[in-house]
């Protein structure tokens, strides 16, 4: 197994890498297209905004590379949002491999944006990525934009409205929360991804 982390400037790369090391997997950090294509598993981490994230991928020549991958690909946090078609954040065209538009949470009295902290997950589909996930298990989120639920949703959560917490479209998968900060649940889901 050869796991790579796509180096797109995400600030959570170190913590994701350490979470994988705890599972016995040493992931290579790279922006080299050949190394990414040759990997058995590809992880696209990310923290920040959609516009700068996509700009870094374009400047590295990785947009078409990522779109063309056939091995398991996992987007984490912003990385999951970048898998979608479009983000309202900066009116950004994204990778387009998950048929969804990322939208900002609606602000209302008593509801803070960004959505930050632990929140329960609701399993909505059977898939190897969410094997062992129990109804109500909690994960750690930090985000202001979210993917609406749809046919691609494996697990959802709620922050004023339901949103997709785990998605899959073919070999492309994503977790809106931070698995590296979600204790045993996050470790289990990362382990599930590595077993695909």
**Residues identified as active-site:** 77, 178, 180
Neighbours of 92 (CB within 10 A): 19
3-class SS of residue 150: coil
- CA–CA dist 156, 149 (Å, integer): 7
Token pair belonging to 17: 């890498």
List residues bridging with 118 in a β-sheet: 140
DSSP designation for 149: P
- Torsions phi, psi of 185, nearest 5? -60, -50
End-to-end CA distance of the chain: 10
- CA–CA dist 17, 136 (Å, integer): 27
> Residues 181, 143: contact at Cβ < 8 Å?
no
């Amino acid at each position: 197994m050869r796991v790579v982390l796509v180096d797109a400037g995400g600030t959570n790369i170190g913590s994701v890498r350490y979470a994988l090391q705890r599972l016995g997997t040493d992931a290579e950090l790279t922006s080299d297209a050949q190394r990414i294509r040759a990997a058995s598993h590809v992880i696209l981490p990310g923290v920040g905004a959609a516009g700068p994230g996509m700009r870094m991928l374009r400047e590295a020549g990785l947009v078409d590379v990522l779109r063309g991958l056939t091995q398991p690909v996992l987007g984490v946090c912003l990385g999951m949002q970048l898998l979608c078609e479009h983000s309202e954040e900066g009116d950004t065209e994204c990778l387009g491999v998950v048929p969804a538009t990322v939208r900002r949470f609606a602000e209302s009295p008593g509801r803070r944006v960004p959505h930050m902290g632990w929140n329960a997950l609701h399993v909505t589909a059977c898939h190897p990525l969410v094997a062992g996930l129990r109804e109500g298990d909690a994960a750690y989120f930090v985000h202001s934009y979210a993917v609406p639920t749809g046919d691609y949703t494996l697990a959802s959560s709620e922050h004023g409205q339901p949103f997709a917490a785990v998605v899959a479209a073919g070999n492309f998968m994503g977790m809106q929360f931070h698995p590296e900060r979600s204790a045993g649940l996050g470790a289990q889901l990362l382990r599930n991804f590595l077993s695909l």
